[in-house]
């Protein structure tokens, strides 16, 4: 039996049970639910049980998707099969008043009241879909019995299923040590000075920032970036490829933003939610970042609730907040969210190697200030790196002028070349992008192999030498294997004994992956995400080791790779740009973050 056939059958089941169930337990009354399980052809036991459950709780299982009847789409599967079941080509075709939710939304009713749909959104792009937006006409629409009849007869025009809709001068090549840094002048860097509060993109601006904001909220709990190769949900890939990827456009400043005052307040509120741990707070971050992005791109100044509400993705509550900002210049919710934990958690998370969970643990143990942490209040314990993080808290949390990064690098480079004159050693990250200040120094090391030699073991000798000369002062993370071609070192360094300590990362990579490594460690991270997403949309996988093809992924979890695939480009940035059809951009043109 197919799922629509079983759905039609369920309509006539359980009537005696429904008659004797107290109304307060029928929490799905008035809900017309189109349910999509994993298998579209066969109603499995799980699918049948779930449809029964909906009916027993007073809901109607709708056999055929009809937007004038369906109030909720409940899906246990990914966008493509969901679209197949709905006979649609894109999630954007689903009206805004029909939320697409996970099964967990249904079971949330067991606790007495159904939770908000957005908390159970199945697809991030439809988080703002809201059943309260339904017109009164739609609300009153009754499920027509004859639809069930046609389905059980096995013939229905509206269940035709379509096919899948798939989105259908540079000089950065590396040369051994002679290669000049792309920007060696500290005095006159080709940098952009922008602040988050000043940036306004045009309508074709960075479409990935919303994901970045969510990821940023997640960042500390995430593993290293090594596993992140930009796999994104297929519906987003479809959307992005239609709009174009931010990596494809050279970055442009579009000047003044008409809604900056509103953006600043919403940003302040978003930053407070970022410091909190709950799913609710994470969704708020996601939702505000979407609104902020929409406001940045909005061509007119918002002056009323109605105007705010008319912006796609801005719901009632956010529109009310915008109205309050317009009328009073303030947002009371900010003070409300400034709970006592926020400041402490923020400070604790500024300690190297402390993530949100440790920060909350310490807070719960009674710590409120860095002095409390230093005093081990509440019996908290610190790892050796956290101890260094506390000791050099101010140094690590301040940025260094570009000139200081350059001077430190100019001390390190000759020492490395003394060890092996054939080394390629380059400074990457924000320095290579031409930024006026740098959070750390990111150094890439590799070596050509045409003479039969490699850079294996060089990092060990280099670190020994840098310690002896007191340029590197503390180790934070040393390579697992000093003798391999790939190695990552993290530590603290300083220019001289009067200077602040600065964060330094040294990365060694095989010579053949130098282009991919250079691309990755140059960033910025939003540019990186965009180019990885684009690679993903073209069927490739891009990471710091290269551009890969034929990477098989787990269909149930697209982030999981089943096979490694084959490298098709990795030696130069240019070849990677070229295959991905991304116009060449100098490092300073790859700035996307606000």
Q: Which is nearer to ligand DCP, 117 or 404 (CB)?
A: 404
CB of 445 to Mg ion, least distance (A): 15
Which of Mg ion, ligand DCP, none sits in contact with 225, Cβ below 5 to 8 A by type? Answer: ligand DCP
Q: In the range 213-272, which residues lie near Mg ion by CB under 5 A?
A: none
3-state helix, strand and coil shares in percent for the chain, rounded to the nearest 5: 45, 10, 45
Q: Residues in contact with ligand DCP, total (CB under 6 A)?
A: 13
Binding residue for Mg ion, selected from 235, 372, 406, 440, defined by CB under 5 A: 440
**Alpha helices for 494-540 (secondary structure H):** 514-522, 525-537
Output 77 or 488, the one with its CB closest to Mg ion. 488
Q: Please, which residue, 440 or 474, has the CB nearer to Mg ion? A: 440
141-174 burial string, b = 16+ CB within 10 Å, else e?
bebeeebbebbbeeebeebeeeeebeeeeeebeb
Residues 502-521 that bind ligand DCP (CB under 6 A): 520-521
Strands 440-446 and 502-508: parallel
Residues 6+ apart with CB under 8 A from 188: none
Q: Write 43-47 long-range contacts (CB < 8 A, 24+).
A: 43/1, 43/2, 43/3, 43/5, 43/6, 47/3, 47/6
Binders of ligand DCP among residues 216 to 235 (CB under 6 A) are 225
Q: Are 344 and 373 in contact (CB under 8 A)?
A: no
Contacts for 62 with CB less than 8 Å, ≥ 6 apart: 7, 32, 33, 34, 69, 70, 143, 147
The residue number with the shortest CB distance to Mg ion is 429
If phi > 0 it is left, if psi is from -120 to 50 it is alpha, else beta; for residue 313 that is: left
Cβ of residue 53: shortest distance to Mg ion, in angstroms? 51
| Cis status, amide bond into 524, omega within 30 of 0 | yes
Q: Which does 521 bind (CB under 5 to 8 A by kind): ligand DCP, Mg ion, none?
A: ligand DCP
Binding piece for ligand DCP, criterion CB under 6 A, among 43-51, 171-179, 262-270, 437-445: 437-445
Residue 67, contacted partner among ligand DCP, Mg ion, none, CB below 5-8 A by kind: none
- Would you give the DSSP letter of residue 433? T
Smallest CA-to-CA distance from 443 within 469, 412, 472, 484 is with 412
Site for ligand DCP in 522-561 (CB under 6 A): 523-525, 528
From the number of C-beta atoms within 10 Å of its C-beta (0-12, 13-18, 19+), residue 256 rates as: exposed
The catalytic position among 50, 321, 435, 534 is: 321
CB 263 within 8 A of CB 296: yes
Residue 438 is a binding residue for ligand DCP (CB under 6 A) = yes
Least distance CB 558 / ligand DCP (angstroms): 19
Tell me phi and psi for residue 183, to 5 degrees. Answer: -130, 100
Identity of the residue, 321 or 435, whose beta carbon is nearer to ligand DCP in the bound complex: 435
Shortest spacing between CB 176 and ligand DCP, in angstroms? 23
Q: Is 66 in the site for ligand DCP (CB under 6 A)?
A: no
Decide: 474 and 501 in contact? Cβ < 8 Å: yes
Give the span between the Cα atoms of 578 and 444, in whole angstroms. Answer: 23
Contact between residue 251 and residue 589 where contact means Cβ atoms under 8 Å apart: yes
Q: Are the C-beta atoms of 200 and 296 separated by less than 8 Å? A: yes
- Distance in Å, CB of 520 to Mg ion, minimum: 12
138 near Mg ion, rule: CB under 5 A: no
* Active-site annotation holds for 321: yes
The only residue of 63, 205, 315, 429 in contact with ligand DCP, by rule CB under 6 A: 429
Of the candidate spans 74-82, 249-257, 432-440, 576-584, the one that interacts with ligand DCP by CB under 6 A turns out to be 432-440
Our CB check for Mg ion shows the closer of 318 and 430 to be 430
Give the interface with Mg ion as residue ranges (CB under 5 A). 429-430, 440, 442
Using CB under 6 A, list all residues that contact ligand DCP: 225, 429-430, 438-440, 442, 520-521, 523-525, 528
Active site amino acids: 321
């Amino acid at each position: 039996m197919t799922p629509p056939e079983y759905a039609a059958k369920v309509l006539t089941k359980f009537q005696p049970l429904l008659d004797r169930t107290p109304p307060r337990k029928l929490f799905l009354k008035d809900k017309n639910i189109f349910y999509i399980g994993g298998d579209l052809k066969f109603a499995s036991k799980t699918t049948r049980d779930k449809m029964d459950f909906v009916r027993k709780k007073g809901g109607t299982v709708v056999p055929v998707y009809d937007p004038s009847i369906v109030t909720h789409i409940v899906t246990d599967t990914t966008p493509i099969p969901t679209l197949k079941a709905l006979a649609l080509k894109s999630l954007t075709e689903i009206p805004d008043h029909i939320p697409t939710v996970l099964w967990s939304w249904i079971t949330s009713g067991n606790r007495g009241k159904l939770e908000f749909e957005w908390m159970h959104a199945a697809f991030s792009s439809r988080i703002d879909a809201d059943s309260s937006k339904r017109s009164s006409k739609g609300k009153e629409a009754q499920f027509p019995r004859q639809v069930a009849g046609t389905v059980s007869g096995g013939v229905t025009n509206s269940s035709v299923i379509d096919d899948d809709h798939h989105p259908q001068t540079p000089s950065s090549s590396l040369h051994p040590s002679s290669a000049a840094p792309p920007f060696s002048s500290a005095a006159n860097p080709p940098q952009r000075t922008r602040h988050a509060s000043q940036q306004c993109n045009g309508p074709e601006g960075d479409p990935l920032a919303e994901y970045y904001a969510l990821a940023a909220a997640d960042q500390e709990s995430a593993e290293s970036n090594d596993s992140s190769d930009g796999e994104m949900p297929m519906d987003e890939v479809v959307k992005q490829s239609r709009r174009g990827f931010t990596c494809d456009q050279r970055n442009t400043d579009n000047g003044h933003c008409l809604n900056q005052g509103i953006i600043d307040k919403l940003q302040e509120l978003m930053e407070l939610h970022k410091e909190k741990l709950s799913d609710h707070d994470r969704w708020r971050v996601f939702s505000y970042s979407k609104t902020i992005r929409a406001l940045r791109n909005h061509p007119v100044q918002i002056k009323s609730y109605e105007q705010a509400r008319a912006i796609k993705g801005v719901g009632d509550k956010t529109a009310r907040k915008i109205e309050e900002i317009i009328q009073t210049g303030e947002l009371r919710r900010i003070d409300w969210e400034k709970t006592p934990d926020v400041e402490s958690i923020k400070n604790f998370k500024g300690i190297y190697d402390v993530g949100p969970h440790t920060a909350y643990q310490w807070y719960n143990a009674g710590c409120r200030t860095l002095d409390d942490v230093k005093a081990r209040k509440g019996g908290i314990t610190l790892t050796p790196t956290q101890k260094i993080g506390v000791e050099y808290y101010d140094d690590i949390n301040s940025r260094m002028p570009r000139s200081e990064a350059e001077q430190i690098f100019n001390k390190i480079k000759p020492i490395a070349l003394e060890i092996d004159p054939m080394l390629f050693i380059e400074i990457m990250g924000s320095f290579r992008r031409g930024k006026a200040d740098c959070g750390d120094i990111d150094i890439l090391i590799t070596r050509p192999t045409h003479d039969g030699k490699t850079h294996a073991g060089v990092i060990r000798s280099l670190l020994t030498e840098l310690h002896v000369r007191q340029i590197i002062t503390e180790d934070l993370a040393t390579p697992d294997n000093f003798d391999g071609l790939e190695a990552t070192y993290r530590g603290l360094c300083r220019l001289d004994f009067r200077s602040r300590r600065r964060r330094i990362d040294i990365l060694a990579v095989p010579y053949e992956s130098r282009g991919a490594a250079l691309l990755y460690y140059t960033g910025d991270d939003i540019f990186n995400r965009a180019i990885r997403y684009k690679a993903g949309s073209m069927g490739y996988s891009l990471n710091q080791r290269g551009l890969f093809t034929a990477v098989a992924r787990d269909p149930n979890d697209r982030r999981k790779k089943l096979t490694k695939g084959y490298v098709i480009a990795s030696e130069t940035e240019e070849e990677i740009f070229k295959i991905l059809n991304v116009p060449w951009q100098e490092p300073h043109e790859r700035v996307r973050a606000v």
